[in-house]
Amino acid sequence: MSPAARAPHFVRSLERGLAVIRAFDADHPELTLSEVARACGLTRAAARRFLLTLADLGYVRADGRTYRLTPRVLELGYSYLSSFSLAQIAAPHLEQLVEKTRESSSLCVLDGDDIVYVARVPARRIMTAAITVGTRFPAHVTSVGRVILAHLPQEEIEVRLTRAELTPLTARTLVSADLLRAELERVRRQGYALVDQELEEGLRSIAAPVRDRGGEVVAAVNIPVQAGRTTLAALRRELLPPLLETVAGIEADLGMTTGPAPASSRGTGTHRSSSSPRPPAPRP
């Protein structure tokens, strides 16, 4: 958000404090004062004040010249997850899906231009992808992202395509707005999305949307597979039917909840959609 677009209530110091927390990630678990200042666009003096305040609050600890986050930061994410009933409802269904398919599965929601993993059950394999709750990816290159984007109003899709950074992550990544627009239309018609090695070489993924009892697409469930082990035909034939069955189970449980519709990522663009009914499961 540009300074000119900020509302009068906007607290710049809070924005900067959160930026300091976000500066730490899997690639940068430890940072020096100078690195934090550079990553957040702060002076060294300002970065130091934020780091010391976060340390006083227990979110950061110093280790010599470097700083790292503490487990207390998890409280921030847990506050969301504990109030997000959909993740709790989906968890047992994901476990059954993984037991049935022996492939990992996740529940994701749309947050801005990214998808965020809010529930995940990994397959019991020696080697598994390093994806955890809280992992983010650009929505337009993922199966879960596309299946949610496909159900947005057309005018919002156009806005998102205009601002999306259509850079190739692999040789197969769609980098044309026209091709993405056509793909989203196909996803909306067929009721599921399949992405073949666009996010990462050797990774295929299939996803289906999750609707609340009002018909609003609030999330998506995926099954990622290694391209060397599973063909596209097998993905549709063997994994799509149990995926659709799982999503239907989640939606049935959502329909039994009382009170307001389960919390989705409000402001992320999910919307009520009844124009694309659940596709029939492919015959073997």
Q: Which domain holds residue 30?
A: 3-73
**How, if at all, do strands 193-196 and 136-138 pair?**
unpaired
Q: Are residues 115 and 61 in the same domain?
A: no
One domain for residues 200 and 62: no
List the CATH number of the domain containing 15.
1.10.10.10
Neighbours of 255 (CB within 10 A): 11
Same domain flag for 11 and 61: yes
Distance CA 257, CA 277 (A): 22
Mean pLDDT value across residues 82-107: 88
Closest CA to 68 of 31, 16, 17: 31
Give the CATH number of the domain where residue 167 resides: 3.30.450.40
Number of structural domains the chain divides into: 2
Is the model's pLDDT at 34 over the cut of 50?
yes
Residue 152 located in a structural domain: yes
Residue 264 carries which side chain, given as an amino acid letter?
S
pLDDT at 77 over 80: no
Determine, yes or no, domain membership for 129.
Answer: yes
**What is the number of helices (H) and of strands (E) in the chain?**
10, 9
Give the pLDDT of residue 258: 40
Lowest mean pLDDT among 77-86, 130-139, 170-179: 77-86
Residue ending a domain, among 73, 103, 121, is: 73
Q: Are 109 and 115 in contact (CB under 8 A)?
A: yes
Check whether residue 94 and residue 124 sit in a common domain: yes
Over residues 129-139, the pLDDT tens digits come to 567 888 899 99
Q: In the prediction, which pLDDT does 6 show? A: 74
Is residue 197 within 8 A of residue 204, CB to CB? The reply is yes
Rounded Cα distance, 25 and 229, in Å: 31
Q: Which of the four pLDDT bands, split at 50, 70 and 90, describes residue 266? A: very low
pLDDT score for 179: 93
Residue range 105-131: average pLDDT? 82
Q: Which of 39, 54, 73 is the last residue before a domain boundary?
A: 73
Residues 64, 177, single domain; the answer is no
What percentage of the chain exceeds 70 in pLDDT?
Answer: 83
- Choose the final residue of a domain: 73, 93, 120: 73
Residues 98 and 135 in one domain: yes
C-alpha to C-alpha distance for 226 and 203, rounded to whole angstroms: 5
Q: Is 106 within 8 Å of 144 (Cβ atoms)? A: yes
Predicted confidence band at 253 (pLDDT cuts at 50, 70, 90)?
Answer: confident
Percent of the chain scored above 90 by pLDDT? 60
Q: How far is CA 204 from CA 110, 117, 255, 282, in A?
A: 20, 17, 31, 18
Task: Kindly state whether residue 79 falls inside one of the protein's structural domains.
Answer: no
197 and 224 in one domain? yes
Q: Which two tokens stand for residue 14?
A: 């809070």
Q: Is 177 inside any structural domain?
A: yes
24 and 111: one domain? no
pLDDT band (50, 70, 90) for residue 19: very high
Query: Considering the domain boundaries, does residue 154 fall inside one?
Result: yes
CA 275, distance to chain mean position in Å, is 24
- Band of residue 284 on the pLDDT scale cut at 50, 70, 90: very low
Does residue 19 share a domain with residue 147? Answer: no
Question: Looking at the domain assignment, is residue 275 inside a domain?
Answer: no
- pLDDT(265) > 70: no
251 and 223, same structural domain? Answer: yes
Kindly state the tokens that stand for 223: 């099954």
Spatial separation of the C-alpha atoms in residues 95 and 120, rounded to whole Å: 9
Residue in the block written with tokens 């650009």: 138
Residue 47 pLDDT more than 60? yes
Q: Is residue 267 part of a domain?
A: no
Is 176 part of any domain? yes
- Domain co-membership, 157 together with 200: yes
On whether both 217 and 152 belong to a single domain, the answer is yes
More confident residue, 214 or 178: 178
